[in-house]
A and B are shown apart, each in its own frame.
Chain A
Amino acid sequence: DAGITQSPRHKVTETGTPVTLRCHQTENHRYMYWYRQDPGHGLRLIHYSYGVKDTDKGEVSDGYSVSRSKTEDFLLTLESATSSQTSVYFCAISVGTEANYGYTFGSGTRLTVV
């Protein structure tokens, strides 16, 4: 187990409220990612991080911000939640070896915006 946890696992929030999702890893990996999963779209990259205070936008970053003040924590904030942000959010860390450039994913956060 790669030691990656997401919190909360489920959340219901009202339109217009800010929401923060947390991703925590215990293995000191440099690269971390936030994806959202939606039917018909698969997994789409929201934001990613190459290290502490080093972040960049993915393909669906509008309405989201991230912060990484410590190696182990990568926070995703919905600044003012909208119904279109109802989704399942996954955090991932890159195992980043020449043998496998793949990710290890967290268990996900199911967010419902009402």
Chain B
Amino acid sequence: DQQVKQNSPSLSVQEGRISILNCDYTNSMFDYFLWYKKYPAEGPTFLISISSIKDKNEDGRFTVFLNKSAKHLSLHIVPSQPGDSAVYFCAASAVGGTSYGKLTFGQGTILTVHP
């Protein structure tokens, strides 16, 4: 049972345009959400996070939006750059519950930014 889903396996975007990566979750206990970026032959690296008490968090070119009623979050990258080409994983955690610290990941979306 996939509690965190990224339904788009891949996304292709032109340099300078906006990239929008989407993620849906089913567990209403999740209250903390993160995005990770992964290059080939490397471990995932933390990108940006958001707590369920917020609906938006921004860090430079990266913005994460959270819609709790729809159980949906999205990552916006503006403007997209070729170096952003990587696999992006959405992750969720129930920080306030007994599963503190454990992250549940989505399947990942491969982003390709063309020059």
Residues of A bordering B, CB below 8 Å: 31, 33, 35, 40-45, 48, 58, 90, 92, 94, 96, 100-108
Contact across chains for B43 and A43 when beta carbons are under 8 A apart: no
A-chain residues with CB within 8 Å of residue B107 when the two chains form the complex: 40-42
Q: A40-B9, A45-B102 are in contact. List 5 more A-B contacts (CB 8 A).
A: A48-B102, A100-B49, A101-B93, A101-B95, A107-B42
Give a binary string over B15-37; 1 marks a CB under 8 Å from any A CB, 0 the rest. 00000000000000000101010
Give a binary string over B103-115; 1 marks a CB under 8 Å from any A CB, 0 the rest. 1111110000000
Q: How far is the CB of A11 from chain B (nearest CB, A)?
A: 15
Contact across chains for B108 and A102 when beta carbons are under 8 A apart: no
Q: How far is the CB of B44 from chain A (nearest CB, A)?
A: 5
For B, the interface residue count at a CB cutoff of 8 angstroms equals: 25
Contact across chains for B44 and A96 when beta carbons are under 8 A apart: no
Contact across chains for A107 and B49 when beta carbons are under 8 A apart: no
CA distance A43 to B36 in the complex (A): 11
A interface majority secondary structure:
strand
26 contacts between A and B (CB under 8 A): A31-B101, A33-B102, A42-B4, A42-B89, A42-B107, A42-B108, A43-B91, A44-B105, A45-B103, A45-B104, A96-B101, A100-B46, A101-B93, A101-B95, A101-B101, A102-B34, A102-B36, A102-B46, A102-B49, A102-B103, A103-B44, A104-B46, A105-B43, A107-B43, A108-B42, A108-B43
Q: A43-B44, A107-B42, A107-B43 are in contact. Are A94 and B108 (CB under 8 A)?
A: no
Q: Which 3 A-B pairs have the closest CB atoms?
A: A105-B43, A43-B105, A42-B107
CA distance A101 to B93 in the complex (A): 8
Tell yes or no: B45 within 8 A of A by CB: yes
B-chain residues with CB within 8 Å of residue A102 when the two chains form the complex: 34, 36, 46, 49, 91, 103
CA distance A94 to B106 in the complex (A): 18
CA distance A9 to B47 in the complex (A): 24
